[in-house]
Structure 1
Amino acid sequence: MTTLICDCNRTMPLAPEALGEALGETLTLHSTLCRREAGAFQQAIRGESDVVVACTQEKRLFGELGAATEGAVAPVKFINIRETGGWSRDAAQAMPKLAALLAAAHLPDPDPVPTVTYKSAGRLLIIGPVDRAEQAAALLDDVLNVTIFAQGFGERGGSQDRRFPILSGHLGAVTGWLGAFEAQWTQDNPIDLDLCTRCNACLAACPEGAIGLDYQVNGDLCRSHRDCVASCKVAGAIDFSRPPETYAETFDLVLNLGTQPVFTRHAPPQGYFTWDGTDPGVLLRLRDLVGEFEKPKFFDYKQKLCAHSRNTTVGCDACVQICSAEAISSDVRNQQIKVNPNLCVGCGACTTVCPTGAISYSYPRIADQGARLRTLLSTYSRAGGRDAIVLLHSQDRGQALIDQLGRAAALGVAHGVPANVIPVSLWHTASLGADLWLSAVAYGASQIAVLTTGEEAPQYLDGLAAQMEVAQTLLNGLGYAGQHLHLIRESEPAGLDRTLLALAGRKPQAPAEHARHAVAPEKRTTLELALDHLIAHAPAPLPPAIPLPAGVPGTGAALGGLEVDNERCTLCMSCVSACPSSALLDNPQAPQLRFLEKNCVQCGLCATTCPEQAIKLVPRLLLAPRRKEAVVINETQPFHCVRCNKPFGTVKGVEAMLGRLAGHAMFQGAALERLKMCGDCRVIEMYSSENETKITQL
C-alpha cells in the first residue's frame, strides 16, 4: 500500500508522521504533487501495490501522467482530504479523520454487479408548442430522428418548412424508458397534418379565425361554415366527417417543452427530459443518448423473505409506497413484488424500509458498506479520534455542498467540516438505513447525520425520519443518553456550516467498547449483531422491553411481539401459514401456537389473516432472553374423534365450527355429527351411510 499526500501548496496543516502511524506506513509530505513533484507519483505507480492519491481535483491530470508513464501498472485511487477536513479552522486536529478517509480508500473495490442495458436508435419525440419544438428540433436533428407532437402553435407559429413530422391530437399515456417509450394519442381534429401542405389557404378562408398556425381547428370558435374544406379541396387535408382514431408509436427519447409534465413521479424514467429553453446542457445530454448504454442493477430480491403478501392478503408494502420512480409494483397473486430494473434509479429507499431484507442494495452491497464504516471508525479511534460523527451525503449535490463549504473555509468565511465529522459519500442518501446506522454506533460513532439537499423525494425524507425515530428510541431505551441521529436539510454552505459546528460540540452517550464484527449480508442478522453489542455494553439497568413507535410503517428496523386473545384464538394456524419470517410456529406434537420474537418483522400478515381477529402487533424490543426462544403463546386441548377417539383439531376450533354451521341447511343431523370425526372416519361414515341407504331402497 502506497499513500501520497499533498498539502496543496501548504494550505493544509498535514502531519505525515501521525497519518503514517495510523496507516502503518511511512508517508512523505508533498506540496505540489501535481506539478513539480509529479515524479513521486510516477515512481509510485511503477510498483505493484495499490496507490492512494489524496487529491481529487487533479484526478484527470494524474490519469494523463499515468498513461504517459512507462511501466505504470499499479491501481490508483483518489480521495478528497482537502474540502472534507484539510480546509477547516480545526484542520490541525483532523488527522484521525484524514487517516480514516485514507484507510477506507485502500479497501478493495466491491465486486461487480449485474447491469441493465438500454439501446437507443435516437428516435426523439418532442412535446410542446410548435414554434419551440421546431427550435429545439433544429438543434438536434443532425444527430437524432425528431418527431414533434404539437401542443399549440406558440407565439411565432410553426415554420412553413416541413422539416419534421408533426403529430397532433389529445396526448394520452406516455410510458416506458430510454429506448422503449410508447406514446398514445387520439387524433380527433379535422385537419390531417400529414396531408397539410401549410399553404395557409384555410387560415385565410376561415371567417372565425378558428385555424391557427398549428394548422388545427379550434372547435370552440368554428361555426361550421366549411370554407376551409373548399379551400383545401385539392390537398384534401380537411375532413370534418373523419372519426377520431387512436394511435401509438414507439420512441427512444422524450423531450417535453410543455407546461404539463408527462411523468408526474419524482424520479422520471431515464431518457425523459424537460427543457425551458435556457439550459443547453439538456440538449447536449440528448445528443449523447444514441447507442447502447449500461447501468448497474441496484437491487437483489429474494421472494422467500418477502413479507408483501400471503394468500392474496397484503401485509408489508413499504417498498411499493416509497419508490419515487414507480418501479415497484404489487403482485399479490404470486405473493411478491415486482421491480422494473429499467425504471429503478438506484436510490435504495426500498431496501432501507424493507423489514426482512428481501430486497437489498447491491451498489455496493451492505457488507461492503459495513466494511467501509468499520474501517473508517476503527482507524479514527486508533488514531486518537473521539466523538466521531458520520456524515452521510450523496455523491452529487451533497458532495458539491461539502466542496463549497471547504472552499469557504479556505477563504476564511466559514469554519468548514469539523475535525470529528467524517463525510461518507453514497450513491443516494436513502440507501443506508437503521441497520447500518446502529452498526456505525456500535463501531464507535457518537452521531449519524444524513445530509439531504432538496434532491430527495418527499417520501424519502419521511422514510428516513421514521427510521431515525425507531433507532433513536432504541438507543435511548438502552440507556444511551442524547441525540444520536440527525436528518439535516440544508442546501447552502452557510447553513451546513452552522449545523455541523453545532453537532460537533455535542457528546451523546455511546458504547464504551467498540464492536469488531463484520456486517452480515442479511439485513436482519446485521441488525441483530448491532443490537447485541449495544445491549451488551448498555448502561445498566436495562428495562424488560423498549416500546417502539406504533403505526410507523416501513421503518426497516421493525421489531416487536404479538398479543394473542386466547379466548378468541381457535388455534386454526392460519397465522402460521401466513408468517413470512417463521416467527409464528406450530407444534406437530400438540395443539400449540409458538412465537419466536427475534424473527418477527411486524408485517401484520398474521393479524389480517386471523379469522378471529385475535392477534395484535406490539412494536417493541424485548430484552428478556425469551426474545430468542420459541415460546408457547397459546395452547388448548385436542379434540378427539367421536368415532375412533383419535385426536384431531382443537376443542375450540371444532366448537367454533359447529356453532357457525349449526344453522346451515347442509349441516343438519348426521352431517353435523360428521364434523366431530377425523378425516378418515368421516369418509367411512359417509360411505357406510350411502350403502345403508341403498340397501333400504332395495
Structure 2
Amino acid sequence: MTDYLNVYADMALPASGAARDAALQAGAVVEVGATSLVGYRSAGHLLLIGAELDALECAARLRESLTCTIMATRAHEGELPGEAAAARADQRRVTVLYGQPASVGGHLGHFDALLETPRGEALRAADLNGDDHPWFDLVLDLRREPALQMDLPPFGYYAPAGDAEALERALAEIPEMTGEFEKPKFFNYSPDICAHGDSGLTGCTRCLDACPADAITSIGEIIEVDPYLCQGGGTCATACPTGAIIYAYPGPKDMAARVKAMLQAYREAGGERPVLLFHDEDAGADRLHAIAADLPDHVIPVRVAEIGSVGMDLWLTALAYGAAGVVLLDTRAVPPTVRAEVERQLDYARSLLDAMELGGDRLVLAPADDGFAAALQGAAGRAPVTPAGFETFNEKRGTLRLAIDHLYGQALARPQVTAMPAGSPFGQVMVDADKCTLCMACPQVCPTNALTDAGDKPQLNFTEDLCVQCGLCQTACPEDAITLESRFLFDWEQRRQPRVLNEEQPFECVSCGKPFATPSVIERMTQRLEGHHMFQSEANLRRLKMCGDCRVKDMFETEQGSGNTLM
C-alpha cells in the first residue's frame, strides 16, 4: 500500500480533493499478483565504438572502474592528447581494436559484437580483448549513427548520437552498471491463442510492429519475447487482438480491480464525474508533480509502469465502471512506437463510443507539452454511465465484450453495426461464393475458430464475435475468395451466432454415388486440367469425378483391359 502511494506523498495535490484521496487509498490496498524476475549480471567489461580519439577520451574517464575495449572505427592521426594518451598506454585496462562493427547485439551483461577488419574478416571482438570474459557487459556507441536504433535500446547500451548532455549522463551512469540487477518479467504469453501464423502462413504481426525494444521475434507460427530485451513498454499487450500476450506487472485483472475500487471509493466519498489520469512511474510522475497543484479535484491519478501497458480493454472497462473520462499522460520520454500504437487503439475505442453517441472525446492522450488543461476538460465533459458490477479476468476479448455490452445498454444511440478503422481487431469475413470452392483451407488456419466447417456437410460457418481480423484465412485461400471488413456488430446474440458464409450440395461420385467433394471443386479442377495432355480423353476427365476408391478401381480395370500391369 505504502509503495503505491509513495509517488503521491510529496505532490502538492489540492487539499480539497477528499474523494480523490479516498480513491487513492482504495487503489493502494488492492493486491496485485506477483510476477517473476529477470536477472542481469555485469562485471564491468565495456565496449566503446567510435573514432579512436573520442573513445580514448571516454575510456580515460572510465578505466579506473571498468575494463575498456575500444573498437576504433577511425584511427587517430598524430600525437594523442594527454588523457587519451594515458588511456592508450594502459594496456591492462584498455584494449584498442581497429575496424568497423559488423554487428552488435545483446543486453546488459551479455553483449556480442563482430569486428570487420580492413581485410574483410568478421571476428568476435570479445575474443580479441586479451581476457577470458566471453561477452561485453556494456556498450557505449559514440557514433552519430549507432548500431542499435530501436526506440528502447537494450539495458546497458548507450548511444548519445552526438548529444553532449546525453554523453555526460552516460559517462556518469555507466560506472554504476556493475553488479547484479533485477527487473520484473513484464509479460505472459499463451501461444495456444496466438494468431501470428499457421501452416507456414503469417497472420497477425501487431505485437512485432508495436514493440519499441525489438524484443519480439517470429519463430514460425508463434512469436518469442526476449525477457532480457523487453523493457515493459506494454504495447505488445495493448495491440494483441486475442490476449495471447498480456501485461503482467500488474496483470489486466488486477488493474481492472484497482480501477473499480478507486471509482467506487470516489463515489462513496461524494465525488462526481471522475476522470482517471494514467501516468507512468518516471517521466509521467515527474510531470504530474509539476502540475499537481492545479489538478482538478475530479481527476484521479493512476500509476502504471508505462502508459502503453493499458489499452482499450481497460479504458472501456473504466468507463463501464463509472469513469466520466480517461486521460493518458503523454511525455517526451514515451517512445514514438508506443505513442503511435496508443493513438491507434484510441481510434478504435473512440469509434465505438462515437457510434453509441457516448463521446469518443472521453478518451484523451494528453499532449506532451501544452494543452493538458484542455485535454482534461474534454474528458470530463460528459456524464458517466451507471457503474457496472462485473468482474474481469485476464482474458482480453471477454473483458472487452463485458465493457462494450454494458456501455451499449446505456447508450444514447444503439446502432446494429458500425464501421471501424482499418486494422481494428473486430470485423467480419466475407466470402465470394462464385470463387469459393469450400476447400476448407480457411477454417484449418483460423486461430480463434471464428471460421468452422460443418463436418461432412460442405458448409463454411462464421462467428463474428471470435474474429480478430488476423488475415490468416485471406492468406490461406487459394481462390482469393475472402475479404475482411473492419466493423463492430453490437448485438451480442448476433455476434455469437454462427452464420453460413457459403454452402453447396455434396458432389456424388459418378461411379458409386458416394459424396466426396463439392461441385465447385470438381468444376474448378476440370477447368484447370482440361488442357493437360493427360486429360484429353473423356475417360480420364470422367475419372476426376470419381471418389478415391473408384478412381483407383477404374485405373486398375483400364490397365487390365489393355493388357498392361499396373505397377
Return the TM-score normalized by structure 2.
Answer: 0.90
User: What is the match of residue 192 of structure 2?
Assistant: 304
1:354-404 per-position Cα deviation (integer Å, ceiling 9, x unaligned): 111111111111111111111111211222222111111111101001111
Higher-Rg member (1/2): 1
Q: Give the SS at the match of 1:567.
A: coil
Displacement of 1:99: 0.3
For residues 141 and 118 of structure 1, the distance between their equivalents in structure 2, rounded to whole angstroms, comes to 22
User: What is the match of residue 398 of structure 2?
Assistant: 525
For residues 518 and 323 of structure 2, the distance between their equivalents in structure 1, rounded to whole angstroms, comes to 53
Alignment of 1:137-148 (within 5 A): 137-148=59-70
Displacement of 1:143: 2.4
Displacement of 1:277: 5.7
For residues 9 and 378 of structure 2, the distance between their equivalents in structure 1, rounded to whole angstroms, comes to 21
User: What is the match of residue 131 of structure 2?
Assistant: none
Q: CA distance change for structure 1 residues 500 and 572 in 2, over 3 Å: closer, same or farther?
A: closer
For residues 209 and 218 of structure 2, the distance between their equivalents in structure 1, rounded to whole angstroms, comes to 10
Q: CA distance change for structure 1 residues 182 and 419 in 2, over 3 Å: closer, same or farther?
A: same
Task: Give the letter aligned to residue 159 of structure 1.
Answer: A
Q: CA distance change for structure 1 residues 695 and 130 in 2, over 3 Å: closer, same or farther?
A: closer
Displacement of 1:509: 4.6
Among 8, 26, 29, the residue aligned to 1:106: 29
Q: CA distance change for structure 1 residues 607 and 277 in 2, over 3 Å: closer, same or farther?
A: closer
User: What is the match of residue 640 of structure 1?
Assistant: 508
1:611-638 per-position Cα deviation (integer Å, ceiling 9, x unaligned): 2222221211113422111111211111
Task: Give the letter aligned to residue 336 of structure 1.
Answer: I
RMSD: 2.3
Displacement of 1:496: 5.8
Task: Give the letter aligned to residue 636 of structure 1.
Answer: E
Q: Give the SS at the match of 2:316.
A: helix
For residues 142 and 21 of structure 2, the distance between their equivalents in structure 1, rounded to whole angstroms, comes to 47
Indicate the structure with greater helix content: 2
Displacement of 1:244: 4.8
For residues 607 and 247 of structure 1, the distance between their equivalents in structure 2, rounded to whole angstroms, comes to 45
| Alpha-carbon contact 1:116-1:297 (below 8 Å) kept | yes
1:573-625 per-position Cα deviation (integer Å, ceiling 9, x unaligned): 11111211100111014211111010000112212222222222121111342
For residues 195 and 361 of structure 2, the distance between their equivalents in structure 1, rounded to whole angstroms, comes to 31
User: What is the match of residue 133 of structure 2?
Assistant: none
User: What is the match of residue 399 of structure 1?
Assistant: 285
Instruction: List runs of 5+ in structure 2 lacking aligned partners.
Output: 127-135
User: What is the match of residue 326 of structure 1?
Assistant: 214
For residues 497 and 610 of structure 1, the distance between their equivalents in structure 2, rounded to whole angstroms, comes to 48
User: What is the match of residue 23 of structure 1?
Assistant: none
Are 1:544 and 2:416 counterparts?
yes
Displacement of 1:456: 2.0
For residues 39 and 243 of structure 2, the distance between their equivalents in structure 1, rounded to whole angstroms, comes to 26
Task: Give the letter aligned to residue 122 of structure 2.
Answer: T
User: What is the match of residue 373 of structure 2?
Assistant: 498
| Alpha-carbon contact 1:418-1:500 (below 8 Å) kept | no
For residues 695 and 667 of structure 1, the distance between their equivalents in structure 2, rounded to whole angstroms, comes to 19
User: What is the match of residue 146 of structure 2?
Assistant: 261
| Alpha-carbon contact 2:559-2:565 (below 8 Å) kept | no
Displacement of 1:119: 2.5
Are 1:122 and 2:48 counterparts?
no
Q: CA distance change for structure 1 residues 342 and 335 in 2, over 3 Å: closer, same or farther?
A: same
For residues 504 and 195 of structure 2, the distance between their equivalents in structure 1, rounded to whole angstroms, comes to 29
For residues 487 and 419 of structure 1, the distance between their equivalents in structure 2, rounded to whole angstroms, comes to 19
Are 1:657 and 2:525 counterparts?
yes
For residues 352 and 158 of structure 2, the distance between their equivalents in structure 1, rounded to whole angstroms, comes to 43
Q: Give the SS at the match of 1:319.
A: helix
| Alpha-carbon contact 1:661-1:667 (below 8 Å) kept | yes
User: What is the match of residue 666 of structure 1?
Assistant: 534
| Alpha-carbon contact 2:327-2:376 (below 8 Å) kept | no
Q: Give the SS at the match of 1:569.
A: coil
| Alpha-carbon contact 2:349-2:360 (below 8 Å) kept | no
Q: Give the SS at the match of 2:394.
A: coil
For residues 80 and 258 of structure 2, the distance between their equivalents in structure 1, rounded to whole angstroms, comes to 57
Displacement of 1:182: 1.5
Q: CA distance change for structure 1 residues 297 and 672 in 2, over 3 Å: closer, same or farther?
A: farther
Displacement of 1:147: 1.3
Displacement of 1:104: 0.8
Q: Give the SS at the match of 2:535.
A: coil
User: What is the match of residue 675 of structure 1?
Assistant: 544
Task: Give the letter aligned to residue 291 of structure 2.
Answer: L
Q: CA distance change for structure 1 residues 145 and 532 in 2, over 3 Å: closer, same or farther?
A: same
Displacement of 1:507: 2.2
| Alpha-carbon contact 2:417-2:489 (below 8 Å) kept | yes
User: What is the match of residue 124 of structure 2?
Assistant: 248
For residues 457 and 177 of structure 1, the distance between their equivalents in structure 2, rounded to whole angstroms, comes to 19
User: What is the match of residue 132 of structure 2?
Assistant: none
Q: Percent identity?
A: 39
Moved over 6 A (4+): none
For residues 107 and 696 of structure 1, the distance between their equivalents in structure 2, rounded to whole angstroms, comes to 80
For residues 567 and 548 of structure 1, the distance between their equivalents in structure 2, rounded to whole angstroms, comes to 27
For residues 112 and 520 of structure 1, the distance between their equivalents in structure 2, rounded to whole angstroms, comes to 16
Alignment of 1:545-624 (within 5 A): 545-549=417-421, 551=422, 553=423, 555=424, 558-624=425-491
Q: CA distance change for structure 1 residues 181 and 684 in 2, over 3 Å: closer, same or farther?
A: same
User: What is the match of residue 363 of structure 1?
Assistant: 249
Are 1:428 and 2:306 counterparts?
yes
User: What is the match of residue 689 of structure 1?
Assistant: 558
Q: CA distance change for structure 1 residues 691 and 114 in 2, over 3 Å: closer, same or farther?
A: farther
Are 1:184 and 2:128 counterparts?
no
User: What is the match of residue 25 of structure 1?
Assistant: none
Q: CA distance change for structure 1 residues 476 and 244 in 2, over 3 Å: closer, same or farther?
A: closer
For residues 364 and 333 of structure 2, the distance between their equivalents in structure 1, rounded to whole angstroms, comes to 18
Q: Give the SS at the match of 2:534.
A: coil
Q: CA distance change for structure 1 residues 641 and 139 in 2, over 3 Å: closer, same or farther?
A: same
Displacement of 1:253: 0.9
Among 167, 171, 182, the residue aligned to 2:101: 171
Among 309, 316, 341, the residue aligned to 2:227: 341
For residues 668 and 361 of structure 1, the distance between their equivalents in structure 2, rounded to whole angstroms, comes to 61
Task: Give the letter aligned to residue 104 of structure 2.
Answer: V
Instruction: List runs of 5+ in structure 1 lacking aligned partners.
Output: 1-51, 54-75, 189-242, 410-415
Displacement of 1:78: 3.6
Displacement of 1:695: 6.0
For residues 565 and 367 of structure 2, the distance between their equivalents in structure 1, rounded to whole angstroms, comes to 86
Are 1:450 and 2:328 counterparts?
yes
For residues 185 and 272 of structure 1, the distance between their equivalents in structure 2, rounded to whole angstroms, comes to 17
Task: Give the letter aligned to residue 137 of structure 1.
Answer: A
| Alpha-carbon contact 2:234-2:309 (below 8 Å) kept | yes
For residues 80 and 120 of structure 2, the distance between their equivalents in structure 1, rounded to whole angstroms, comes to 28
Q: Give the SS at the match of 2:324.
A: strand
Among 488, 492, 496, the residue aligned to 1:628: 496
Q: CA distance change for structure 1 residues 627 and 390 in 2, over 3 Å: closer, same or farther?
A: same
Q: Which range moved further: 595-604 or 559-568?
A: 559-568
Q: Which range moved further: 351-360 or 255-264?
A: 255-264
For residues 297 and 531 of structure 1, the distance between their equivalents in structure 2, rounded to whole angstroms, comes to 30
Displacement of 1:447: 1.0
User: What is the match of residue 162 of structure 1?
Assistant: 89
Q: Give the SS at the match of 2:361.
A: coil
Return the TM-score normalized by structure 1.
Answer: 0.74
| Alpha-carbon contact 1:113-1:297 (below 8 Å) kept | yes
For residues 462 and 280 of structure 1, the distance between their equivalents in structure 2, rounded to whole angstroms, comes to 30
